[in-house]
Structure 1
Amino acid sequence: MNDNRPTFLYFPQWQGCGLTNAIQTGAETLRAAFSEAQPITIPLSDEPLTTCFGISGYQPLLTQLGKAQTILEQQQPARLLLVAGDCAAEIAPISYLNQRYEGDLLVLWLDAHADLNTPESSPSGHFHGMPLRLLLDGQFPATAFRAESPLTSQQVVFVGLRDTDPAEDRYIADHAIPVLATGSPLAEHLAPLLARAKARNIYIHLDLDVLNPQQFPDLQCPVAGGYLAEDIAQLLRHLLEVHHVVGMSLTETTATKPEDLAPIQPILALYRDWLLKPTIAAS
């Protein structure tokens, strides 16, 4: 028999958000909420935040992506939990799992933002608004950024999306990516989308700005509206009970102390249980 608990990946990347590292502090605060577990840490680069090819912080982001890809290839996790700073930390874990499961992966993008910009379409040049587009396109031309195992648009479902740029709206429409709007009964309305996707393995990207900032204000990019933490916890509980979840993430908070995380304790409790509870499989 073997204990196949998820690998705990800690990636406090902040350079994708621009010049402020408040989100690194947020990642540290989230990391402390999992004090019972020992993570694998992706080291950060101290290279300058120079803008190249329309991407702010190009070199440290590229270096860190390479480190994350190398560590995942070395560790070969079957499941993983990512606690991260900005959303661009998702590129290596999702690409790795997509390759491991040979494309039999559905990515639920729980986020107020689509993160579908390219360096050319991004209004800010901030890389945390581009990771899903890189995962879908596989590369950004003229840059060294690559996703080793790109997704198809049929592998993505948006939940809670409510702040998009025109280029992102066009991409979503052109590729018919499903969007579960804020306010929908989550599990009930998500079920037919999951059935249509026919993927046996699920990855849950959770940018905490999917939540209502009136309940949880410690967010890098708050957007009015959104779900309550209890609604998201109920969805997560359903997904963990009914589906084969191979990865989950927590990203984009600016919380500075444990008390700041009180509103999301229902979510954190589920993540801790999933990370720490052994799942025994025959060897």
Structure 2
Amino acid sequence: MSKPVFLLVPEWQGSDSSRAMQLTDGAALLREDLPRSALTEVAVPLEAGDALGTPVARLSSVLQARDATRRALAEIDATPIIVGGDCATSLPGIEAAARAHGDGLAVLWCNAHPHAQHPSTSPSGAASGMTLRHALGDGSPDLISPNPITPSQVTFVGTRAFDPEEEEFLRGKSIAMFGADDPDLKTSVMRRLKDAGATHLYVHIDLDVLDPAEFSAVHSAVPFGLSVSQLTEVIRAAVALLPLAGGAICEFAPSDPANAADNQPTVLRVLAALTSGSAA
């Protein structure tokens, strides 16, 4: 892959957490660790935003952030890595990768949640929880991807917390799923990617994919997650196997300076794994 460009998108309006603004603190910390020469800061509205008469909470601000990210992506001639916000920030990155690579794109979905809620059934109305649904071409007309992917392009890694509505939607769809209990997680995921015949890779990472015992700077910790070693091993193998078309690291939400100091090195370790296929 080419050397990456980092898009800092400190969006919090897509989150359903009462502590969503902690994402802006996480983004500010990551800004200091990213190379200035390869950093693009995407303007995100300060205000919460309005649902615009839809079931999607804060939709107006989510759309502004999405459109600003799309414009930034259009100006980049390098591999884009989106960091610093909620999971809805990953949607324009998936769109761009799908537009460039079509059905040759594989999406590695490293997330405790599938984020496959529909606006009409979502308990929270949070755009973050609908990210994959919109990437698959279903959901709110305002957010549906113009370049939808198919279920067969998606591989769940560490996904383990499904709402009943998501289970119903995903039932029978050809999404492979691998968890922390897989005896050889890296081999299983690499076999899936090879069998899919993909030519390029998009890696979506919500940090809640990690086990809470190893990483706690998230809003919705879910037990029985991946170890840091499992996650980074899978990511390094994946980006060595396929050229990286883009990626996102989402939901770094430190609760206080001590929590940030404990967890920020892990975020940087994950980021290093994601960019380990970069050209020198």
Instruction: Name the structure 2 match of 1:23.
Output: 23
Instruction: Name the structure 2 match of 1:73.
Output: 74
Change (3 A) 1:195 1:242: closer
CA distance in 1, matches of 2:112, 2:12: 18
Identity in percent: 26
Summarize the alignment of residues 39-78 of structure 1 with structure 2, pairs less than 5 Å apart: 39-51=39-51, 52-75=53-76, 77-78=77-78
The alpha carbon displacement at 1:265 in A equals 4.8
CA distance in 2, matches of 1:272, 1:181: 23
Output the TM-score relative to the length of structure 1: 0.88
Unaligned runs of 5+ in 1: none
Change (3 A) 1:119 1:266: same
Match of 1:262, SS? helix
Deviates more, 1:14-23 or 1:213-222: 14-23
Instruction: Name the structure 2 match of 1:82.
Output: 82
Is this contact kept in 2: 1:201–1:246, CA < 8 A?
A: yes
Deviations 1:88-108 (A, max 9, x none): 001111101110123320000
Instruction: Name the structure 1 match of 2:150.
Output: 152
The alpha carbon displacement at 1:173 in A equals 1.5
The alpha carbon displacement at 1:5 in A equals 1.3
Is this contact kept in 2: 1:218–1:254, CA < 8 A?
A: yes
Deviations 1:135-165 (A, max 9, x none): 1025524xx2231211111111101011110
Instruction: Name the structure 1 match of 2:110.
Output: 110
The alpha carbon displacement at 1:34 in A equals 2.0
Summarize the alignment of residues 234-249 of structure 1 with structure 2, pairs less than 5 Å apart: 234-249=233-248
Summarize the alignment of residues 1-283 of structure 1 with structure 2, pairs less than 5 Å apart: 4-18=2-16, 19=18, 20-35=20-35, 37-51=37-51, 52-75=53-76, 77-137=77-137, 140-141=140-141, 144-184=142-182, 185-255=184-254, 256=257, 257-271=260-274, 273=276, 278-279=279-280
Deviations 1:41-85 (A, max 9, x none): 11011344333411111110011111111222233x342211131
Deviates more, 1:14-23 or 1:155-164: 14-23
CA distance in 1, matches of 2:217, 2:134: 27
Deviations 1:116-137 (A, max 9, x none): 0011111111111001100102
The alpha carbon displacement at 1:258 in A equals 4.1
Match of 1:157, SS? strand
Is this contact kept in 2: 1:79–1:247, CA < 8 A?
A: yes
CA distance in 1, matches of 2:111, 2:132: 11
CA distance in 2, matches of 1:46, 1:36: 23
Match of 1:23, SS? helix
Is this contact kept in 2: 1:27–1:251, CA < 8 A?
A: no
CA distance in 2, matches of 1:48, 1:254: 17
Deviates more, 1:170-179 or 1:221-230: 170-179
CA distance in 2, matches of 1:183, 1:36: 39
Q: Which has the higher contact order (CA 8 A, sep 6+)?
A: 1
Q: Which amino acid letter does the alignment assign opposite residue 23 of structure 2? A: I
Deviates more, 1:123-132 or 1:237-246: 237-246
Change (3 A) 1:264 1:93: closer
The alpha carbon displacement at 1:35 in A equals 4.1
Q: Which amino acid letter does the alignment assign opposite residue 152 of structure 2? A: Q
The alpha carbon displacement at 1:254 in A equals 1.0
Is this contact kept in 2: 1:80–1:248, CA < 8 A?
A: yes
Is this contact kept in 1: 2:27–2:84, CA < 8 A?
A: yes
Is this contact kept in 2: 1:216–1:264, CA < 8 A?
A: no
Is this contact kept in 2: 1:230–1:267, CA < 8 A?
A: no
Change (3 A) 1:73 1:148: farther
